[in-house]
């Protein structure tokens, strides 16, 4: 048994290996056939056809965080495009699957799970990213529904997704307590948008809501309680962002080790130079530590044995920063050839940067961790005083 995954069960290791094999042998070629910056519908259909979406998106149970992490790590190692398509489909579907009204779930989730409809999670706005409580998209009552007005930015799969989990303000001046989540179909009158070109070629864009009418049966969860819907979704997905980072970090490390073993300089292989090998040893140690943090946070979420907000923040923070280091070291080992357009490491260099920003920046993760530290301190002090 590989000690790297000794903490996993046989079934969990098989899921990871299956995800890696699918990414390498099946999904990567489909991903390469897609248009840059556009939703790759054949890829999403393949993620369903090969069983990954139906495994995770089920109505009879909550999404298991550890399964999500293992699939994302395995896919990322060989196809970041497949990983991102899988992750964003699950992210967009989760709020609706978990809190949507039965009629909406019955209409949309079979199509989303089958890869026939594309889902998206619409939270970020021009004046607020990680500060969810400051959302400004308005949802004003209109008959038996609401009219949505405002803008969302940097929304994955926008503007091509078929169904959006949209977070809007239903009570002014109420901060986090006045937000509601809505399931909004793409064909809704008044909904428009355009793609946003980024450094990495992901489908991502802007959405504009010009009085979009959404019926009350499209409310996800409870009215004015959308902040909780968003936070529960992010707590579930933050460790798996770390898993995406671990997969990329492992791919970069593997590439660097292979290259160092075969490339010679000054008459010796690079693997004979301590300046190279010690850097790789450090990266390997950090990658394994990141993997364990991610899996521990996911397991805690699944078992409900502990408060997972801090664990999820630690996992995302450490794993994404480790991945950035791993890719940087791998490029340094390769030299200029790694920066050629189309090289695996050039691709990873562009892909890895965003992980420290979306679903909560590294700075936000540190703030969460610090806040939890002092909250725990306060609890301990209160406990001591109470027992005095």
Domain boundary, last residue among 225, 245, 266: 225
pLDDT at 3: 80
Structural domain boundaries, residue 125: 119-225
Among 60, 93, 113, give the residue marking a domain's end.
113
Q: Mutual orientation of helices 344-353 and 309-334 as an angle, nearest 10°? A: 150
List the CATH number of the domain containing 306.
Answer: 1.20.140.10
**pTM of the predicted structure, to 2 decimals:** 0.94
pLDDT at 304: 87
pLDDT at residue number 381? 58
Q: Are residues 233 and 362 both part of a single domain?
A: yes
CATH code at 210? 2.40.110.10
| Residues 286-313 pLDDT 10s | 999 999 999 999 999 999 876 788 999 9
Per-residue model confidence (pLDDT) at position 175: 80
- Let me know whether 332 and 260 are in one domain: yes
Residues 243 and 177 in one domain: no
Residue at 387 is within a domain = no
Q: How far apart are CA 340 and CA 34, in angstroms?
A: 21
Per-residue model confidence (pLDDT) at position 64: 93
SS3 of 220-251: the string is ECCCCEHHHHHHHHHHHHHHHHHHHHHHHHHH
386 domain residue, yes or no: no
User: Which residues does the annotation mark as catalytic?
Assistant: 359
Q: Which residues of the chain carry a pLDDT beneath 50?
A: 1
In a domain, residue 384? The reply is no
Nearest one of 99, 116, 147, 102 to 41, comparing CA atoms: 116
pLDDT at 382: 60
By the 10 Å C-beta count (0-12 exposed, 13-18 middle, 19+ buried), 388 is classed as exposed
Domain count, the chain: 3
Tell me what pLDDT residue 311 has.
Answer: 93
Q: Are residues 66 and 124 in the same domain?
A: no
């Amino acid at each position: 048994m590989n000690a790297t995954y000794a903490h996993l069960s046989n079934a969990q290791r098989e899921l990871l290996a299956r995800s890696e094999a699918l990414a390498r042998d099946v999904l990567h070629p489909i991903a390469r056939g897609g248009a840059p910056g556009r939703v790759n519908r054949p890829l999403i259909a393949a993620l369903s056809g090969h069983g990954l979406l139906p495994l995770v998106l089920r109505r009879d149970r909550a999404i298991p965080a550890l399964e999500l992490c293992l699939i994302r790590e395995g896919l990322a190692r060989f196809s970041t495009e497949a990983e991102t398509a899988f992750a964003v489909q699950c992210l967009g579907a989760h709020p609706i699957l978990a809190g949507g009204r039965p009629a909406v779930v019955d209409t949309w989730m079979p199509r989303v799970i089958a890869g026939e409809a594309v889902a998206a999670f619409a939270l970020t706005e021009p004046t607020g990213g990680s500060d969810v409580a400051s959302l400004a998209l308005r949802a004003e009552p209109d008959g038996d529904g609401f009219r949505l007005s405002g803008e969302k930015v940097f929304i994955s799969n926008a503007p091509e997704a078929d169904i959006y989990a949209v977070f809007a303000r239903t009570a002014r001046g109420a901060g986090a307590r006045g937000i509601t989540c809505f399931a909004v179909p793409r064909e809704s009158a008044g909904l428009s948008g355009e793609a946003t070109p980024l450094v990495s070629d992901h489908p991502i864009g802007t959405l504009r809501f010009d009085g979009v009418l959404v019926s009350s049966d499209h409310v996800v969860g409870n009215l004015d309680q959308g902040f909780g819907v968003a936070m529960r979704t992010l707590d579930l997905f933050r460790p798996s962002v770390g898993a995406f980072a671990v997969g990329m970090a492992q791919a970069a490390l593997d590439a660097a080790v292979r290259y160092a073993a075969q490339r010679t300089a000054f008459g010796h292989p690079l693997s004979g130079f301590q300046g190279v090998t010690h850097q790789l040893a450090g990266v390997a140690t950090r990658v394994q530590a990141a993997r364990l943090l991610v899996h521990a946070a996911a397991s805690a979420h699944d078992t409900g044995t502990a408060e997972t907000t801090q664990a999820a923040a630690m996992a995302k923070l450490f794993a994404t920063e480790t991945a950035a280091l791993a890719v940087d070291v791998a490029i340094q080992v390769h030299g200029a050839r790694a920066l050629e357009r189309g090289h695996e490491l050039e691709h990873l260099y562009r892909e890895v940067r965003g992980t420290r920003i979306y679903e909560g920046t590294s700075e936000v993760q540190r703030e969460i961790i610090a806040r939890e530290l002092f909250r725990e301190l306060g609890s301990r002090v209160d406990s001591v005083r109470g027992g005095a």
